[in-house]
């Protein structure tokens, strides 16, 4: 099960991505759908999804203690073109980059391994 905390729920994510990160909306939705359909969401354990103030702040805290941060990224002066998944909300290392729909299954497999 995934509980959401912070600045709103899933509708808030939709509004923020549409407003701030329209260029990566399709991969953001694919990643979110994969997360909500994953073993993480179907498990009996309670995992937490913390939503920050901007479109760029979603953190997943698994019951196992693993943490993942989802951050939209862009090169200077360009629109968002990818989502980086970090292994910690603050100062984490990039463990996966999602730039296309084809990248979503590998990213989700990495996250599910941390259960």
- Whether the pLDDT of residue 113 is over 90: the answer is yes
pLDDT in tens, 37-77: 999 999 999 999 888 765 567 899 999 999 999 988 889 99
Q: Helix or strand or coil: residue 45? A: coil
> CA distances (Å), 71 to each of 44, 104, 112, in order?
27, 14, 18
How many domains does the chain fold into?
1
Phi/psi of residue 19, nearest 5 degrees: -80, -45
Question: What's the domain range around 48?
Answer: 2-113
Please tell me the distance from the alpha carbon of residue 53 to that of residue 63, in angstroms, as a whole number: 23
CATH code (residue 13): 3.30.920.70
Q: Give the predicted TM-score (pTM) of the model.
A: 0.87
């Amino acid at each position: 099960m995934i509980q959401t905390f912070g600045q709103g729920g899933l509708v808030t994510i939709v509004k923020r991505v549409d407003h701030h990160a329209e260029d990566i909306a399709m991969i953001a939705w694919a990643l979110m759908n994969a997360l909500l359909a994953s073993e993480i969401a179907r498990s009996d354990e309670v995992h937490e999804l913390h939503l920050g103030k901007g479109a760029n702040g979603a953190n997943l805290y698994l019951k196992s203690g693993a943490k993942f941060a989802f951050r939209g990224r862009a090169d200077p002066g360009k629109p968002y073109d990818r989502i980086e998944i970090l292994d910690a909300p603050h100062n984490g290392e990039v463990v996966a980059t999602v730039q296309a729909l084809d990248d979503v299954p590998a990213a989700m497999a990495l996250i599910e391994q941390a259960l």
